[in-house]
Amino acid sequence: MVEGPAENSAQIAPQCSAKGCRAGAEWQLLWNNPKIHTPERRKTWLACGDHRTTLGSFLDARGFLREVTPFASSDGAIVS
Ligand SMILES: [Zn+2]
């Protein structure tokens, strides 16, 4: 029995960015914090169907949310 890192970061399917959630990403939330980001900068969070609203509300309440788009895993979006 070999024990070691179970995860290879190159092979993890895109997952929801919500804390503790391991559901597959269905949406990407593009956001920007005007206090620390230039206006054209976009940060990306991924969300499952359940957390799209949760994460979206969190960002929207702070005025950070810019866009929510369906996430297609083939696009290989990078969470930043
Ligand atoms: Zn989730």
Rounded CA separation 41/72 (Å): 21
Report yes or no on 50 lying in a domain.
yes
pLDDT tier, 72 (very low <50, low <70, confident <90, very high otherwise):
confident
Report yes or no on 4 lying in a domain.
no
pLDDT tier, 13 (very low <50, low <70, confident <90, very high otherwise):
confident
The pLDDT value recorded for residue 8 is: 47
Range of the domain at 56: 15-73
Rounded CA separation 31/26 (Å): 16
Give the C-alpha distances (Å, rounded to integers) separating 48 from 1, 40, 44, 57.
34, 25, 13, 14
Report yes or no on 32 lying in a domain.
yes
Q: How far is the CA of 2 from the centre of ligand 1 (A)?
A: 31
Residue 48 reports pLDDT greater than 50: yes
Residue 76 reports pLDDT greater than 60: no
Residue 44 reports pLDDT greater than 90: yes
Q: Is 7 helix (H, G, I), strand (E, B) or coil?
A: coil
The one-letter amino acid code at 54 reads T
pLDDT tier, 79 (very low <50, low <70, confident <90, very high otherwise):
low
Report yes or no on 9 lying in a domain.
no
User: Which pTM does this prediction carry?
Assistant: 0.74
Report yes or no on 79 lying in a domain.
no
Number of domains in the chain: 1
Q: How far is the CA of 17 from the centre of ligand 1 (A)?
A: 7
